[in-house]
């Protein structure tokens, strides 16, 4: 079961990007894996002022920011480049989702769409 909430975009958002809430209650692309403000994954592209549906819990697609091997590290965090893409969690970053591999996609490379279980920021990776 997915939980989806509609937010207003504070800028340009790409489809399947991780988004964070700003002080005005709007969402924008998550800037870094160290952010605890990640609220979900945008389900479509949006421009500033547009309404955008965001999966705040559940299964969704995201975009890989690099090579991901769920057999090594299935937990994912936002990349530091402010693209809304995900990468394997490393020290000092908040895991926000977990890759769900299948027979058709056992790993990922940069810009692949992958299926994840989005749960939001959890305990920081030591």
Report the chain's mean pLDDT, rounded to a whole number.
Answer: 94
What pLDDT sits at residue 126? 56
Whether the per-residue pLDDT at 38 is higher than 90: the answer is: yes
CB 20 within 8 A of CB 75: no
* pLDDT beyond 90 at 80: no
CB 107 within 8 A of CB 68: yes
Sign of CA dihedral 117, 122, 41, 29: negative
Residue 8 pLDDT greater than 70, yes or no: yes
Report the percentage of the chain scoring pLDDT > 90: 79
pLDDT at residue 68 is higher than 60: yes
């Amino acid at each position: 079961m997915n939980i989806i909430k509609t937010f207003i975009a504070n800028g340009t958002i790409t489809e399947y990007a991780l988004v964070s809430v700003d002080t005005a209650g709007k969402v924008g692309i998550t800037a870094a894996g160290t952010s605890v403000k990640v609220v979900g994954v945008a389900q479509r592209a949006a421009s500033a002022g547009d309404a955008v549906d965001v999966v705040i819990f559940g299964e969704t697609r995201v975009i890989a920011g690099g090579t991901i091997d769920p057999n090594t590290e299935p937990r994912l965090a936002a990349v530091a480049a402010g693209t809304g893409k995900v990468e394997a969690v490393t020290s000092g970053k908040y895991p926000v989702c977990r890759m769900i591999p299948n027979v058709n996609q056992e790993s990922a490379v940069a810009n692949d769409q992958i299926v994840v279980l989005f749960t939001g920021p959890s305990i920081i990776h030591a």
